[in-house]
Structure formats: C-alpha cells, structure tokens
Structure 1
Amino acid sequence: DRKGAEDALRDVRKQVQRNHKAFGLSPDDMPVYGTIAARFNDDGVTALYHGVVGLLRDKGLPLESGRLASVKGKASTGKTVIVPAARARYLAEIADTVRGYHKQVEEQVKLVRQRQQLQAVKALLEAENKSVADLEPLLERVELQIDPHARKLVDMWPQVRESYRGDEYVVKIRDKEIRTPLTRRSLSGTRIPKVAIPRFEEHGELLRWMMRENMPGSFPYTAGVFAFKRENEDPTRMFAGEGDPFRTNRRFKKLSEHAEATRLSTAFDSVTLYGCDPDERPDIYGKVGNSGVSIATLDDLKVLYSGFDVCCPATSISMTINGPAPIILAMFFNTAFDQQIEKFERDNHRSPTDNEIEKIREWVLANVRGTVQADILKEDQGQNTCIFSTEFALKMMG
C-alpha cells in the first residue's frame, strides 16, 4: 500500500532469483510475498501464512489444515489506502487555504480603510465648498477593488450592531418570530449583555474582526457555531460506568434525579472496549466492570438505560466507545426501538402492526439524541483499543 511497493516487490523477487541462481523459474515463483499487514483479512498475509505452513510441513512438522482458504498469487490485491497518493498533501492544502484567506483579509482591510479615508476627506472638502473632482475617480477605483462580500459586511454592521443593543434579538423563520433575551441581570441588578459588541469605528479594524472572528453564529464561527446557547438544559455530563449494568443504572438515576435534562455519559470497561465477553479467564475476569460498565448483550444495554426514555427531547446519551462502536451503536438503536414498541403496547393495549413498527423505527432514528466517540484515529495513535484494521474501522464509522 506504499508508493513504489510494487516496484520493490519485483526487485526483491529478482534479487532472490539471482541469489538462488534460479533463472529457470519466474520471479513470481520466488518465496517473496507482498502484504498489507495493517489491513483486515489481507490476502497477501493469507498467502504468506499458507507458504509458511507449507514449509513447516515439508520439514516434517505435523500441522492440521487451517480455516483460511487458499488464495491465488503472493501479493495483496484490491489495494486501497486511507489517504490517496493524490491527496497526500491535504493538510498542507488546508494550511495554504487558511493562509490565503488571511492574506485576502489583509488586502480587503487595506482597501476598506482607504475607502473610509477618502470618504472622510471628500466630506470635509464638501463641507468647505471645495472641489472633489480629483477624489471621485480615486474613490471609484477603490470601490471596484473591494470584494462585494467585504463591502456587505462593513455596510451592514450598523444594522447588526443595533440588533444586539436592544433587550431582545428577533429572528424570523417561516413567518414565525423567535425572540431571545440579550441581557442578564446580575445579583446587584446590573444588565450584562450576552454578546459583547466591539467598539471599532475604523472600518479596516472592523472588517478584520468580522472576517477573522465575527459574531457568534457567523462565519468563520470563531465565537461559536450558534448565535446563542440553549438555556433549557445545562451542558452537564452525567458520567458513570462501573460494575454491572444494574449498578451503573442506579448511578445514572442518582446523578439525574434533580436535573431538568438528562445527559448521560457512559464509560465501558476494557473488556467491552476490546469487543470481548466477560469470562472467568484470569486476564479477563479481573477487568470485568473495572473503570467502566460491562456490556455483553442487548439485554445488558436495556438494563443500563432502563427508566430513561432515550428518545425524549430532554435526554441525550453519550457513549465512550471506539473499537466496537458500530456494534454498541446498533445495540443502542435496538434499545430505543424496543422502548418505543413497549410504550406503544402500553398506550394502545395491543402489539403494533408491521407498518406501525416501520414508522416507529423511522421516528426513533429521527429523534434519538446522543454521541458515539468512535475516534478510531486517536485509538490507532494512542490508547490502542482497536479490534479492526484502521481502514475497515473508518469504513464502519462512515
């Protein structure tokens, strides 16, 4: 999977052929294998395995036939890489794009500053009833050089500033007004604005701030993706995970008993993180339920979140899981499905039809809230709770 690997494989085979003076054989028949060891179920590694087994049998070692089927050829096929060769510089391209944007910002800052200065000089000359004929062409030339987006940002700033100076911020969405309070009262009665407005008067500094920082909810989102923070729930992580699902469930209920919003954050034990079942084997037994909850089945996950409506708008569930994340996520979805089906049966005193079950599934997928860590790149470089190859794990994440 490396650049030049095929040429290297050919050269090594020819060198082995020369070393053994096996010129009557093809280089492809040499005992040289091309493998991608980091790839799950790699046929090159399988070919190497069969080659080693064959040599050991020739030496008289009695070996049973393995489960791996024989493969044709001695090199990996279907080679795919996480980062294609054409995109090997993608991080450098991102950095170049950011540098180019900052360079463009400085150019526009200079032009906007010149426009403001020319407009000020023009106003002074007109106030003194003097000719501005020489300034008009210069001002028009600067206006043409200013980017329309930069001009719009500066021209709309007075309107934006006024919208944040009132008591409420009003946004119209589909003929509906959404009002957000703009201030809070301190204990001493002082009105404190939620968003601090800069006091720039010079248009160059104003444009630099708007293009590099700007208001919350506006590009480049340095102050946040959303204009305001939600107030109906606190961003609290109710983190728990120890022992069996019953014990962690009791802990979750204790953490959330006085909270308006339920934001559960689940820690799993290392046995679950590596995709294994609890066992009495010494190297597993001591880690079961240690520094995290032990989850081996769908029933375990149902017990873990019993008493919580995982589809409630005020409920959000985070799961710190990486290697087996797709499997745990599938179990979580099934937990949510089963909860809603049980709720339907209680409310309607009957089982749902096939059509109703399908509608329940669609509703669950659209309304369930939460996050799965699934950061397999971090695992590959750091913690190492990997149970699949990086390439395969990334495909499952996608």
Structure 2
Amino acid sequence: MWPDRRLIDLFKTEFPIVLAPIAGAMDAKLAIAAAKGGALGSLPCAMLSAEKAREQVNIIRQHVSAPINMNFFSHKPRELSAEAEARWKQRLASYYAEYGLDPATPIAAANRAPFDAAFCEVVEELRPEVVSFHFGLPEPKLLQRVKATGAVVMSSATIVKEAIWLEENGADVVIAQGAEAGGHRGMFLTENVAEQPGTFALVPQVVDAVKVPVIAAGGIADGRGIAAAFALGASGVQIGSAYLRCPESTVSPAARLALARAGDDTTVITNVVTGRPARGVPNRVMREIGPISPDAPAFPHAATPLGPLKAAAEKQGKVDFTNLFAGQAIALGREVPAAELTRDLAKSALARLKALSG
C-alpha cells in the first residue's frame, strides 16, 4: 500500500519509518520499542564508547528480531586552543559562581567522537543491518570495511550538493534533513546556517538529484507529514522529536515538561550547547549567551565546561544547561508508548495516502 517500497525492501522493516538516533535522549529501550512497532530502530553511538555500543546492540538483539541502525558522527575533530578555552570559561564564569563550582577543577572532555577504527571493528563484529552517519561519511577505507559487512549505509544531507556527494561517495540512502529538524544540522559541505532549506524545498530537489532512495527528515511528526513526504518523492521518513515524550526515552521529567510546553515558534538554531549548529528548545544558557555565540568553541568543545553546570542544575530540577534538542514539530509529540506511536503514524499516513490517490 506504500507508493514506494524501496526502503521497506532494503531495511526489511514493516514500515518506511526510521527512528532518528537521538543522542543523549535515548538508549536501547526506545530503539526496541520503535522496532516492535514496525520502524527501523536506531542506536546513537557518537556519545558511547565502543564497549557501551556493543552492550546496547546486544540488548536490542535480545529483545527484538529486527534490523538495527547504528549511527555515528563522521566530523573532523578540531583542536581547542588555550585562548578559545579561556574565553569560553570566562563567558560561563558567572554561572560557575552561582552554583558554587570551581572553574579550575579538571573536567572530562565531552564525548562526541567521530567514527574510527575501534567503532569499525564493533560494526564488523555486530553486523548491524544499517549504519548511518552524520556530518558526511568516514574516510574511504573505513567506509569500505563497513560496506563489506553487508550493511546499508546512509547519511544526512542538508543541501543538494551534499546529497550528490554522499551518493558519489558510497551512500546507499540519503537522508534529506530540512531546516525544521531537531538536533545537530548534518552540514558538512557548507557552514552557512542561514541558507539551509526547509524539508518541503529540499526533499524534491534531492529526489531529482540522486538515484538512491531518499528519506525525508525535519518537521515530520504525524501521518500528514509522512504522506506529504511521499508526495514529494521520498521513499521514507526519519522521525525524532515525536518520540521524545514516549515513556521509553531517557528524557528527564523536567526536560519532558519543557518539551511539552514547546510550540511551533519555540525552537531555535544554536551553537552554544556543543559548538555546532543544532535546533532545540531554548534553555537558560541558550537564551542568555546565544542562541548563536562567537565565543562558543568548535564542536564538541563547547559542551565540556557545560557538563558540571548541567549536573548541578539538574540536581535542583532545572534544565538551565540541559540539551533540549527538538524540531519545529515538537508540539505534535505525544506521551504514548513508542510502538503504539509508530503504528499510529503508519496507519494515519496510509489513510492519507489512500485518500490522496482515491
């Protein structure tokens, strides 16, 4: 009944729906629930060690017989200069004083590592059915090893040029990430956030530019959005924000409340949280320092000194420094189990598509 079955046949899932890998807001539990509902369950691995990623995949395998998508970052690490570090710490000094924290105390570096040989060995060992990347693709030798496992490879494009590059460099599927999408922008051939197209403008142009299946992402949180994506030529959708309030997510009670109160005009693009452009519901530090600040050091170094502040504030039930990444359709999210949500999304989308074709 789906007008394009390429992703269903490629992934071997019931529905052409991908649970977005929402780093910091989910673990194996949400991936399992979404997979039970018929979606492709994703595991965000960029903030995990190789050992933790292996553990999480094994948990998923124990609970569901379904394909798994392991997601990784493929950015090029940038060094943090002493000058940039000092400037950022000075910018945060008043918050440290407010919470009684010593800025001189050593802090563990933010763990957002790019895909490397150690992660590649985990992929070769676990053989996930799908491996996805953000910020481009890993170096060719590593990518060849991933593809040799038989995994379907996909990555995000925020402009047509990135989509063409991904296809030419080995991606089997392109995720067209519109400006509405929550979380980090997948930009890797551009740094101009102001020129990022929305989903409705981006998807049909990417579909016209590449031959591989295209997944629409950004602003899609119900059956209407899914039907619209297919009308634009997409073979499937990737959905994240709609799942944030599901009981299986790891979102804290305070953060859930902030997300529940968010509206269509709430989210903004910020570089304050990690040093790289990302969309989310503003927290205190985003409002007072950003949302875009020239003082924020390069990704992921901006996140390191925010760690102690986040922990201190959360002990008081506050989300002043907590990552609240979400897309513009966050208000369409519901507090229902992920499997039920997935089935409802598919059912509603099919009804819409039937009505459009009838």
TM-score by length of structure 2 reads: 0.28
TM-score by length of structure 1 reads: 0.25
Q: Which has the larger radius of gyration?
A: 1
Larger relative CO (CA 8 A, sep 6+): 1 or 2? 2
